[in-house]
Chain A
Amino acid sequence: MQKTIINIDEALYEYLLRLGDDNLILGHRLSEWCGHAPALEEDIALANIALDCIGQANAFLTLAVQTINNGRTEDDLAFFRNETEFKNLLLVEQPDTDFGYTIVRQFFYDVFVLHFYQELSKSRNEQLAGISAKAVKEITYHLRHSRQWILRLGGGTEESSTRIQNAVNDLWCFTDEIFFKNEIDDRLIEEGIAFDPRLIKHKWEELVEQTLSEAELKIPENVFMKSGGRYGRHTESLGHLLAEMQIVARSYPGAKW
C-alpha cells in the first residue's frame, strides 16, 4: 500500500469540518423543537442548547476557513455545501421522531463531547484548544439536562419508558461511529493537535451504561453498527434537513439582514 503524505493544514481543515458539522447539524435538529417542545421551559432549554451548538459550529468552521484560506466563509460552508460534503456523524442527523429520540441522541453525543473536548482543550493548536475549553462549560450543562431527562423518562410512566427505550434501541447503531478515526486523525495526533477518541470510549461506556441502568433501560444486543458520515455517506434524513436549512441562503445568495 502506498503511503501518502498528508498535509497538516488540509488534515486540520477536514478535522474541523467534522467538529463543525456535528454541531451545526445537531444544532439545527434541536432548533426544530422551537415552538413545539412539551413545555415552554423545555422549549427555551432546547433552543438554548441549539444556540450553543450552532455557536460551537461557527467557531470550528471559522477556524476551518482560516486554516486553508480558500476564499470561502463559514457561511459558505454551512449553506453552500451538498450532502456528500458534510462530514458529521450519522447520530446527529437522526430525526426528532419524538422527544425521547431527541434526548437520547443528545445524551449519547453529550457524554462523548464532554470527555473529548476536555482532551482537545490541551491541543497544541491554541485556537482549537480555546474553542474546546469554552465548549466544555456549555456541554457540562447540556449533559446535565439530557441525563436528567433520561432518568425521568426511563423511570416515569410506562409510556415514557417504552418510548425512550425505543429511542435507545433505534439510535444505538450510530454510537460506534462516534469513535471513528482514520489517517487524518493519526496525522494530527502525531502533531499533538488532535486526540484519539478511542482512548475515552471506556469513559463514554461507563457513564452511558450507568445512566441507562439507573433509568431501568436496556442496551440492545447484537446491533449492526452503521457509519459513513465522516466520508460524506449519510442517511436519508440529512438531505431533508439541509433542504430546510439552506433554502433561504440558496434562494437569495448574498442577501443581508
Chain B
Amino acid sequence: MKNEEWKIWEVFVQSKSGEPHVHAGNVHAPDAELALQNARDVYSRRNEAVSIWVVPADQITATSPSDAGPFFDPANDKAYRHPQFYNVPKGVRGF
C-alpha cells in the first residue's frame, strides 16, 4: 500500500448535535473506514466533534473559478432577495 495510492477524503465535522456538518479539511486514507479513523485523529483530537462525515474528494462536483461570474454575479444587483426590508419584532433576539 504505497502512500501515493491513498485517496483524498474531504472531512465534515459536526461540533454539536443538530448543527450542520462543516468542512474541516481532508485526509489521506486507503478506504472509508480508515478515512473516518484518520479524520477522528486529525480533526477531533481536542473533542471538537460529535459526528464526522468523510467523502471521497473525487466524488465532489465543484464549480470552477471560471464559472464564478455567470454563477454568482447575477445575484449582486438583486437586493430584494435579501430579507433586509423587514422590521424585526422587538422580542426577537439572535436574528
Contact = CB atoms under 8 A, between A and B. Distances in A.
A48 B30 contact: no
B51 interface: no
B3 A39 contact: yes
B28 A41 contact: yes
Interface size, B (range): 10 to 19
Nearest to A48: B41
A33 B3 CA distance: 17
B29 interface: yes
Contacts of B33: 148
Contacts of B30: 152
Interface string B16-47: 00000000000111110110011011100100
A45 B1 contact: no
Interface SS majority for chain A? helix
B6 interface: yes
Interface in A143-171: 144-145, 148, 152, 156-157, 160
A41 B38 contact: yes
B41 A45 contact: yes
A38 B3 contact: yes
Contacts of B40: 141
Nearest to B33: A148
Contacts of A45: 37-38, 41
A157 B45 CA distance: 31
Contact of B1 (A40, A44, A48, A160): A160
A198 to B, nearest CB: 32
8 contacts: A38-B3, A41-B38, A44-B45, A141-B40, A144-B37, A152-B1, A152-B31, A156-B1
Interface of A: 38-42, 44-45, 48, 141, 144-145, 148, 152, 156-157, 160
6 tightest A-B contacts by CB?
A41-B38, A45-B41, A44-B41, A41-B27, A48-B41, A156-B1
